[in-house]
Amino acid sequence: MSRSNLNKLFTIVGMLLVATIFIGLGLWQWNRAQENRKPVIVDQSIVRLDAIAKVGETLTSDSLLRNVVVNGRYIAVFKAPNQVDNQGQRGDWEAALLQTSGGGAILVVRGLWSDRQSSPALALGRVEVKGRLLPHQNDNYADSGANSLQRIDSSVIVDKTDAELFDGYIVSASEKTGGVLVSHDRIAAPKPRSAVPGFYWQHISYVIIWWFMAAIVLYLPFYQRRVAPEKTEILAQEVESQ
């Protein structure tokens, strides 16, 4: 095989390889777009907190958004400012620290900060909490203070308590003390979202970009073949004019 034919072969193989990569990236983004739209199915059964979470350990993906039940006693109350609920409403929340009967403590969102006086957490005594387990927040919503949390995260209160802490926090759906249901307005827990980051149309735009790049790569040899005779003709005209 001549050198020119060998170079052409390498060029074609390289072109097909690059185009295949671009098409594969487009398919990957297409699959992520479809996964992004799939409803997240969460086990709705109620489990004990200590059955799916351990003190001092990061929550596993299987434990997130699960409905949990835990018994204990509130030992501190904090204000969590500028939080956003399930309806997009911004407000200050009451986040109480629950010392669990099994050991360890976890933050529990009980409701709006303005409603705390109607049912003081520390006055409840022994309480049973049912709610949804969420991962700790990573973004700050406010400045920290003596009894104010910049985000709902056990790491920001390690200097405020001697208790060993669970990761994440619970958005309470109900509380019972002495077998009696505690009347208290609750915060709607966030709806389960897809684990695939980004938005549907964002992924679709990447699909278009990657496939457009693949089309350019595949079209390039035909473009060069069409342009080459024109270049040759122009060069010939320049030579004749000289």
CATH of residue 136's domain is 2.40.50
Q: Is the predicted pLDDT of residue 236 greater than 70, yes or no? A: no
The answer to whether position 189 is within a domain reads no
Instruction: Determine how β-strand 126-134 pairs with β-strand 67-84.
Output: antiparallel
CA dihedral 41, 44, 48, 53 (to 10 degrees): 10
- Please check whether residue 144 is in contact with residue 109, taking contact to mean a CB–CB distance below 8 angstroms: no
Give the range among 24-38, 80-94, 222-236 with minimum mean pLDDT. 222-236
Tokens in use for 163? 């208790």
- Please check whether residue 75 is in contact with residue 97, taking contact to mean a CB–CB distance below 8 angstroms: yes
pLDDT at 147: 79
Instruction: Determine how β-strand 90-100 pairs with β-strand 105-112.
Output: antiparallel
Q: Is the predicted pLDDT of residue 127 greater than 80, yes or no? A: yes
CA dihedral 198, 39, 190, 125 (to 10 degrees): -140
List Cα–Cα distances, 66 to 117, 152, 191, in angstroms. 29, 18, 12
Asked if residue 204 and residue 159 are part of one domain, the reply reads: no
Asked if residue 129 and residue 97 are part of one domain, the reply reads: yes
Q: Is the predicted pLDDT of residue 159 greater than 90, yes or no? A: no
Quote the percentage of the chain above a pLDDT of 70.
81
Band of residue 160 on the pLDDT scale cut at 50, 70, 90: confident
Using N-to-C axis directions, what is the helix angle for 200-241 and 3-37, rounded to 10°? 160
Asked if residue 153 and residue 74 are part of one domain, the reply reads: yes
Q: Is the predicted pLDDT of residue 109 greater than 90, yes or no? A: yes
Q: Is the predicted pLDDT of residue 193 greater than 90, yes or no? A: no
Of residues 102 and 11, which shows the higher confidence score?
Answer: 102
Band of residue 140 on the pLDDT scale cut at 50, 70, 90: confident
Range of the domain at 211: 3-37+198-241
Give the range among 46-50, 149-153, 185-189 with minimum mean pLDDT. 185-189
Q: Is the predicted pLDDT of residue 36 greater than 80, yes or no? A: no
Asked if residue 113 and residue 163 are part of one domain, the reply reads: yes
120: closest CA among 178, 165, 181, 182? 182
pLDDT at 63: 87
Asked if residue 68 and residue 33 are part of one domain, the reply reads: no
Count of structural domains, the chain: 2
Mean pLDDT value across residues 59-66 = 86
Asked if residue 29 and residue 52 are part of one domain, the reply reads: no
pLDDT at 218: 85
Of residues 196 and 27, which shows the higher confidence score?
Answer: 27
Residue 27 CA, distance from chain mean position = 22
Band of residue 197 on the pLDDT scale cut at 50, 70, 90: low
Q: Which residues contact 121 (CB under 8 A, 6 or more apart)?
A: 74, 77, 94, 96, 110
Q: Is the predicted pLDDT of residue 22 greater than 70, yes or no? A: yes
Q: Is the predicted pLDDT of residue 168 greater than 90, yes or no? A: yes
Q: Is the predicted pLDDT of residue 216 greater than 60, yes or no? A: yes
The C-alpha atoms of residue 22 and residue 29 are separated, in whole angstroms, by 11
Q: Is the predicted pLDDT of residue 169 greater than 80, yes or no? A: yes
Q: Is the predicted pLDDT of residue 97 greater than 60, yes or no? A: yes
pLDDT at 72: 95
The answer to whether position 190 is within a domain reads no
The answer to whether position 111 is within a domain reads yes
